[in-house]
Amino acid sequence: MINHSLKQLADMLASKEISSVELTQEYLNRIAQLNPEINAYITVNPELSLAQAQAADQRIANGDAGPLTGIPIAQKDIFCAKGWRTTCGSRMLENFIAPYDAGIIERFNAAGAVNLGKTNMDEFAMGSSNETSYFGKVQNPWDRSRVPGGSSGGSAAAVAARLCAAATGTDTGGSIRQPASLCGLSGLKPTYGLASRYGMIAFASSLDQAGPMAHSAEDMALMMNVMTGFDERDSTSLQREKEDYTRELGKSLAGIRIGLPKEYFAEGLDAGVAKVIEAAVDEYRKLGAEIVEVTLPNTMLSIPVYYVLAPAEASSNLSRYDGVRFGHRAAEYDDLMDMYCKSRAEGFGEEVKRRILIGTYVLSAGYYDAYYLKAQQIRRLIAEDFAKAFEQCDLILGPTAPSTAFKSGEKADDPVSMYLQDIYTIAVNLAGLPGMSIPAGFAPAADGVELPVGLQIIGNYFDEARMLNAGHAYQQVTDWHTRMPEGIAS
């Protein structure tokens, strides 16, 4: 049961082979068994989850069920959920109980899905390893000594360890795709503006986007049908007609043009990862795709551009946490300014402080033109690179991450090395394009341990349905997405 697809679980619920209460309890039992070590969840509330499951069973009995009704979904702890503790992985919000539902949560509730719990994450979504969380690091189910990736590492670990049927994540610079790659699952970052940001605690407002994390492309298509849609409460939400993201699944890939950016296969890519990606490209040739070489010349500038723009937006967004209105407040202080300083010093972790300081610096009067404005200009060049590439191809393929999962603590004292983990993903966010990662095989780490490798598929704006079909077609001829880590089956 724990390895079934969302569609299979929905069929089991519809046929009364199992109830949502029984399915939810099965996952809650697994969380109680495995989460103390993996640390994928920050908050679990069995009473709330089982109440939703009972309501879902009633909907199914009344013939009012949708594809996700009764399915237990884990929610990244960046989404406000009414009555649930919502921490964003930070001491600053350690005891915050959300008084309302985020737009994404509303949509899952309306679909009848069960909120299984809130997953661990890098603090305020700042990190690539899920080691910056105030609630402790998350362990990769494939090798507990390694990181699961970040910032949606808790969601990725929960899906990989079968502690939920699927999960939500957010992607600011690769935070869905990179942990999906490191944990051997599928993850999708939609076109910017497709999924509501209302009630999603902001990191970098022009980059953040919610998306699904699941076992397969088909599962993600079903989740996209629920997650996307216009939300008037979100000024960045796009007003478009609702799509069915399953509509392309099963179509032939004959004649589709797939671009391979030469910059993605240059220095810095692990040899084992490169071998896996090349094998995946060969599978696409067998499926009838035409492989062409493209170039994205400004790819290497995406890291410095991102680490000017994202901290600048974070500096603005996180200024609301001052110890006055909500969030952590220092117990002792001399005056208002001292309260601000001590509350923020105690409430924020080191990585968050680092990015706030960088962002404040690049936005300051003397450096705005030299850094922030210049970064925005290069951001436009990066988007133009993709526009030119899509004149030659329909989809772009490449590695999701330059390596497999690294050891916990290995890059903790080297922020630049950590930032380079997102070298292949950040440009997609800067351009606002959709990107996804699917399991493509395994590669040996330096110590010989075989670990998952993700294949990244990048599409043009609003081309998610074609991307999902490309992923689905690959998953029909491979079984990488069905592999399970050892020791998590029972």
pLDDT in tens, 273-318: 999 999 999 999 999 999 999 999 999 999 999 999 999 999 999 9
Domain annotation covers residue 249: yes
Q: Is the pLDDT of residue 412 over 90?
A: no
**100-136: string of b/e by CB count within 10 Å (b at 16+)?**
ebbbbbbbbbebbbbbbbbbbbbbbbbbbbbbbbbbe
Domain annotation covers residue 233: yes
Percent of the residues in the chain that have a pLDDT greater than 90, as a whole number: 93
The Cα 14–Cα 376 span in angstroms is: 50
Domain annotation covers residue 100: yes
Tally of domains within the chain: 1
β pairing state of 210-214 and 186-189: antiparallel
Domain annotation covers residue 147: yes
Q: Please report where in the chains the tokens 């006055």 appear, as a residue.
A: 324
- Residue pair 236/432 in contact by the 8 Å Cβ criterion: no
Q: What are phi and psi of 210, to 5 degrees?
A: -80, 150
What is the arithmetic mean of pLDDT over 173-181?
97
Domain annotation covers residue 212: yes
Tokens linked to 353: 């402080």
Residue numbers of the domain that contains 206: 6-255
For 153-210, where are the alpha helices, taking DSSP H only? 153-160, 177-183
What lies within 8 Å, CB to CB, of 191 at 6+ separation is: 209, 238, 432, 433, 434, 461, 462, 463, 464
Which residues are designated catalytic? 76, 151, 175
**Dihedral, 245, 173, 476, 444 alpha carbons, nearest 10:** -170
pLDDT of residue 490: 57
pLDDT in tens, 460-490: 999 999 999 999 999 999 999 999 998 887 5
The Cα 371–Cα 112 span in angstroms is: 46
**Dihedral, 118, 124, 129, 134 alpha carbons, nearest 10:** -70
The Cα 192–Cα 221 span in angstroms is: 17
Predicted model pTM: 0.96
Domain annotation covers residue 450: no
Domain annotation covers residue 196: yes
Domain annotation covers residue 197: yes
pLDDT of residue 446: 87
Q: Is the pLDDT of residue 43 over 80?
A: yes
CATH of the domain at 57: 3.90.1300.10
Q: Which long-range contacts (CB under 8 A, 24 or more apart) does 271-276 make?
A: 272/404, 272/443, 272/444, 272/453, 273/399, 273/401, 273/402, 273/403, 273/404, 273/443, 273/453, 274/399, 275/443, 276/440, 276/441, 276/442, 276/443, 276/453, 276/455
β pairing state of 114-119 and 186-189: unpaired
Q: 366 falls in which pLDDT band (50, 70, 90)?
A: confident
Q: 414 falls in which pLDDT band (50, 70, 90)?
A: confident
